[in-house]
Amino acid sequence: MNRPTPSPALLIIYTGGTIGMLENPETGALESFDWEQLRRHVPELKRFGYRIDVESFDPPIDSSDMTPCDWQRIVRLIEAGYDRYDGFVVLHGTDTMAYTASALSFMLENLDKPVIFTGSQLPIGQLRTDGKENLLTAIEIAAARDDDGRPMVPEVCIFFESQLMRGNRTTKINAEGFNAFRSYNYPALAHAGIHIRYDRHLIRRPDPARRFKPHYLLDTNVIILTLFPGIRREYVEQVLRFKGLKGLILKTYGAGNAPQQPWLVDRLAALRRQGVVLVNITQCSLGTVEMRRYGTGLQLLQAGVINGYDSTLESMVTKLMFLLGHGYDMPTVERLMNTSVAGEITTDGPTAGFFGTTH
Ligand code: ASP
């Protein structure tokens, strides 16, 4: 006889964002309101029959104000509730949601419960809001189990409009439409229509032999350099003068190409000799870096720039902060940057759900 499964217990972490904002009548600008006000707009929450608790940022914040300290706060809340809850829903502003979701995908090692981010483009108090659908479906996904009673999606994800996407593959692409996020280089993990259809073979599973392990160490000594035709040497020199620099993300053209200017390539090679990790990602949304394809890419490879494959910017920045934060030596950081540790890049090489850390 099947034993009845207890109804799921979920924790909502409300950080802020448009979903919980109200128009200030004096200025017309949107400002945050608290969870109680937000909850009153979603009476449907009671109909789930789940135990739903809430932890709220006080005050809730616009996600443009999110910092790595806030990522650590969210991880702390998840760690504190890990044994009590079956899944987590994080309500977050859309502007930097992809950064937070990417960071958490690295900080929550061997996660075996769903952590589903969502938010909205219109406040939940407005008639045409997309917030209600997003919140209710995110809750349903966080509570979903497979036939063996295991969480359906034990990953950090973003659910928005009708798609469930891996958090570290996702980017905000739309400041206007409801369909605000895309995962260009990895298919959606689920589609929500009349039914929520999960693509199980795309979903990562934790290593059952290992325990969940939260991480808090991050190092923000990283910068992003976006190339553009006419980029001036003085500008690059100024940017690279940053004291304490440990990681540089180069946003290159196409398949990972840069102008063939000896001053640029020599400067990069010198940086690498000084111990700065250099990573190449493309300005294109779709596709991957292949530095051997053109001379303009090969020169970067020869200067010691490593391949960022098909990474999003959000994932690359947060992964670099995460790895540098752990104080690994340069070869280890470079090796792990070229390894898929949380499903964030597509490489030919091995994937590792393992950070190789004792921290
Ligand atoms: N500025 C808002 C935020 O990111 C935008 C949103 O939530 O859609 O917090």
- What atom in ligand 1 is closest to the CA of residue 21? 7
Structure tokens at 85: 């809850």
The whole-number pLDDT of residue 162 equals: 96
245 and 181 in a single domain? The answer is no
| 103-160: pLDDT as tens digits | 999 999 999 999 999 999 999 988 999 999 999 999 999 999 999 999 999 999 999 9
Q: Measure the CA–CA gap between 119 and 128, rounded to whole angstroms.
A: 14
CA distance 264 to 28: 46
Average pLDDT (326-353) is 88
* Domain assignment of residue 353, yes or no: no
**Residue 4's pLDDT band (cuts 50, 70, 90):** low
Q: What is the pLDDT of residue 3?
A: 53
Residue 346: inside a domain: no
- pLDDT for res 36: 86
Give the total number of structural domains in the chain: 2
Instruction: Examine the domain organization and report whether 36 and 108 are in the same domain.
Output: yes
Number of Cβ atoms within 10 Å of the Cβ of 186:
18
Residues 322, 182 share a domain: no
Mean pLDDT (whole number) for 74-96? 98
CA-nearest residue for atom 8, ligand 1, is 94
- CATH number for position 275: 3.40.50.40
Q: Which atom of ligand 1 is nearest to the CA of 61?
A: 9
Quick one: DSSP state of residue 167? G
| 247 strand-pairing partners | 222, 277
- Write the single-letter amino acid at 181: F
202 neighbors 190 (Cβ within 8 angstroms) = no
Tell whether the model's pLDDT for residue 1 goes beyond 70. no
Lowest mean pLDDT among 30-39, 138-147, 350-359: 350-359
> In angstroms, rounded to a whole number, what is the distance separating the alpha carbons of residues 250 and 224?
6
**By residue range, what is the domain housing residue 263?**
222-337
298 in a structural domain: yes
Do 120 and 14 touch, CB atoms closer than 8 A?
no
Positions marked active-site: 18
Supply the mean pLDDT for the chain: 93
85/199 same-domain check: yes
pTM of the predicted structure, to 2 decimals: 0.94
Nearest partner of 247 among 156, 186, 194, 308, judged by Cα: 308
Q: Answer for the pair 265, 303: CB distance below 8 angstroms, yes or no.
A: yes
Is the pLDDT confidence value at 359 over 70? no
Ligand 1 centroid–CA 35 distance in Å is 16
CATH number of the domain bearing residue 146: 3.40.50.1170
Residue 114 resides in a domain: yes
The whole-number pLDDT of residue 348 equals: 74
- The pLDDT of 35-39, averaged and rounded, is 85
Total length of the chain: 359
